[in-house]
């Protein structure tokens, strides 16, 4: 207990949100305002209305004597340490996982603490924009933590998107209507699968939208006839957004594959095949995102090559015109010297002959440079 207390003490303090100063974690009659929904499920159906986490735990323990498939599902949104402390103690959550859930900014992962699975998902939302600019935000990330125990599911959501309300209602309606017979009856692992499936399906939607942005950038880069690097800022910004997407999906692939393998005691055997489907979809997303990253690297290199080619063309033009004007400068420089004895100095036709010679030489050099593509 002393080690757990030390770990809890090491958790950094987090400011309370407005209106939460009156919450007392020691008072079990109170329900933290961070609780979005809390319910008990028996035989795959919701039992009763919303209740407090304490009441949910009591109902499940009472019901498990006759129904081993009963479990509670508690949903929270950005809880403070004080709000989460009582729930963590009641369900025996590991303090390290509790710290990750409260403070967020975690890497996607699935970890096991005794009889509890702790999963971290990065949620992604595509940000609508009329035109991509060097400062456009393309994807917005949030976090979703899931604690899965033998008789409970606790979800902790960070961010303003990826609500689980519709998912919960869809699962409850499916159980009531018989569209998905016995899915929630499979226990907490069925909820974990449903959450993972929704997160990964959203990845697919975002990847399809990003494909359009990447295609537009690719067209603009190669349609840029001037080659002045006008699109490099947009390419770089899109690459940054793709890297953020990549950090959200890549680490999750191996954990999803592990959940589909035999030996996971907390995952119902009938649910494992569903995790295989999630892993397959996630593999497709990972491949797409890696493809976006490689393509944007190539576009940056192509844009740099365009700039280099444009600079070389400019230098050739400058050099060609400098060479042409060097002829007239050299001739006029010679005749500008103040010597008494110079050829054609006193000739009546000397001036027009020299000017005509300069014009012929300049025209000849100009035509030569044009023939070689320098002008």
pLDDT at 17 over 50: no
The CATH architecture to which 311-371 belongs is Up-down Bundle (1.20)
Distance of alpha carbon 323 from alpha carbon 340, whole angstroms: 29
Measure the N-to-C terminal CA separation of the chain; round to a whole number of Å: 82
Q: What is the number of alpha carbons within 13 Å of residue 160 lying toward its C-beta?
A: 3
Q: What is the pLDDT of residue 345?
A: 67
Question: Could you tell me which of 188, 358, 169, 176 has the C-alpha nearest to residue 266?
Answer: 188
Cβ-contact 118, 97 below 8 angstroms: yes
Backbone angles phi, psi at 204, to 5 degrees: -60, -40
Cβ-contact 249, 206 below 8 angstroms: no
| The two three-digit tokens of residue 54, written as one number | 């304490």
In this prediction, residue 32 has a pLDDT band, given cuts at 50, 70 and 90, of: low
Could you identify the residue written with the tokens 């005509």?
A: 356
pLDDT (tens digit per residue) in 173-202: 876 655 444 678 888 999 999 999 999 999
Q: What is the pLDDT of residue 16?
A: 40
Q: Which residue has the higher pLDDT, 52 or 68?
A: 52
CB atoms within 10 A of CB 365: 18
- The model's pTM is 0.76
DSSP, residue by residue, 253-293:
HHHHHHHTSTT-TTS-HHHHHHHHHHHHHHHHHHHHHHHHH
β-strand partners of 142:
123
Q: Which residue has the higher pLDDT, 94 or 31?
A: 94
Cβ-contact 205, 126 below 8 angstroms: yes
pLDDT at 158 over 80: yes
SS3 state at 215: helix
Mean pLDDT of the chain: 82
pLDDT at 23 over 50: no
In this prediction, residue 226 has a pLDDT band, given cuts at 50, 70 and 90, of: low
CB atoms within 10 A of CB 73: 22
pLDDT (tens digit per residue) in 252-266: 999 999 898 887 778
Average pLDDT over residues 316-331: 83
Residue 252 DSSP code? G
Q: Identify the helix (H) or strand (E) that includes residue 122.
A: strand 116-126
pLDDT at 74 over 90: yes
Cβ-contact 253, 168 below 8 angstroms: no
Q: For domain 2-208+224-306, which CATH number applies: 3.30.460.20, 2.40.290.10, 3.40.1830.10, 3.40.50.300?
A: 3.30.460.20
Cβ-contact 148, 119 below 8 angstroms: yes
Average pLDDT over residues 151-180: 82
pLDDT at 236 over 80: yes
Instruction: Give whichever of 44-48, 98-102, 317-321 has the largest mean pLDDT.
Output: 98-102
pLDDT at 6 over 50: no
Backbone angles phi, psi at 46, to 5 degrees: -70, 135
Domain range annotation of the chain: 2-208+224-306, 311-371
Which of 51-55, 251-255, 310-314 is the least confident region? Answer: 310-314
Distance of alpha carbon 51 from alpha carbon 34, whole angstroms: 13
Q: What is the number of alpha carbons within 13 Å of residue 108 lying toward its C-beta?
A: 24
| The two three-digit tokens of residue 192, written as one number | 């974990």
Q: What is the pLDDT of residue 314?
A: 78
pLDDT at 65 over 80: no
| Rg, Å, the chain Cα set | 35
Q: What is the pLDDT of residue 162?
A: 81
Distance of alpha carbon 335 from alpha carbon 325, whole angstroms: 16
Which of 47-56, 115-124, 247-256 is the least confident region? Answer: 47-56
| The two three-digit tokens of residue 355, written as one number | 């000017």
pLDDT at 243 over 70: yes
pLDDT (tens digit per residue) in 119-135: 999 999 999 988 888 88
């Amino acid at each position: 207990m002393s080690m757990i207390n030390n770990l809890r003490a090491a958790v950094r303090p987090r400011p309370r949100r407005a209106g939460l100063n009156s919450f007392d974690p020691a008072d079990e009659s109170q329900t933290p305002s961070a609780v979005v929904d809390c319910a008990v499920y028996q035989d795959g159906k919701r039992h009763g209305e919303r209740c407090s986490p304490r009441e949910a735990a009591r109902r499940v323990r009472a019901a498990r004597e006759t129904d081993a498939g009963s479990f509670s599902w508690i949903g929270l949104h950005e809880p403070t340490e004080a709000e989460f402390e009582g729930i963590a103690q009641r369900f025996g959550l590991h303090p390290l996982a509790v710290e990750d859930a409260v403070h967020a900014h975690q890497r996607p992962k699935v970890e096991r603490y005794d009889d509890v699975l702790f999963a971290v998902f990065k949620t992604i939302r595509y940000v609508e924009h009329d035109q991509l600019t060097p400062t456009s935000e393309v994807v917005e990330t949030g976090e979703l933590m899931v604690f899965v125990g033998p008789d409970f599911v606790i979800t902790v959501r960070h961010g303003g998107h990826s609500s689980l309300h519709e998912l919960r209602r869809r699962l409850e309606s499916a159980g009531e209507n018989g569209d998905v017979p016995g899915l929630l009856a499979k226990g907490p692992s069925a909820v974990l699968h449903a959450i993972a499936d929704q997160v990964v399906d959203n990845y697919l939607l975002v990847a399809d939208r990003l494909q359009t942005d990447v295609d537009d950038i690719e067209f603009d880069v190669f349609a840029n006839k001037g080659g002045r690097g006008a699109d490099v800022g947009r390419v770089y910004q899109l690459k940054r957004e793709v890297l953020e997407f990549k950090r959200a999906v890549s680490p999750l692939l191996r954990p999803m594959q592990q959940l589909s393998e035999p030996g996971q005691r907390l995952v119902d055997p009938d649910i494992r095949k569903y995790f295989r489907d999630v892993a397959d979809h996630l593999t497709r997303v990972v491949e797409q995102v890696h493809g976006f990253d490689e393509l944007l690297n190539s576009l940056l290199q192509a844009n740099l090559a365009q700039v280099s080619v444009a600079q070389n063309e400019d230098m050739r033009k400058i050099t060609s015109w400098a060479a042409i004007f060097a002829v007239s400068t050299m001739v006029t420089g010679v005749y500008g010297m103040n010597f008494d004895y110079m050829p054609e100095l006193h000739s009546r036709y000397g001036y027009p002959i020299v000017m005509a010679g300069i014009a012929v030489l300049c025209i000849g050099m100009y035509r030569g440079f044009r023939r070689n593509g320098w002008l």
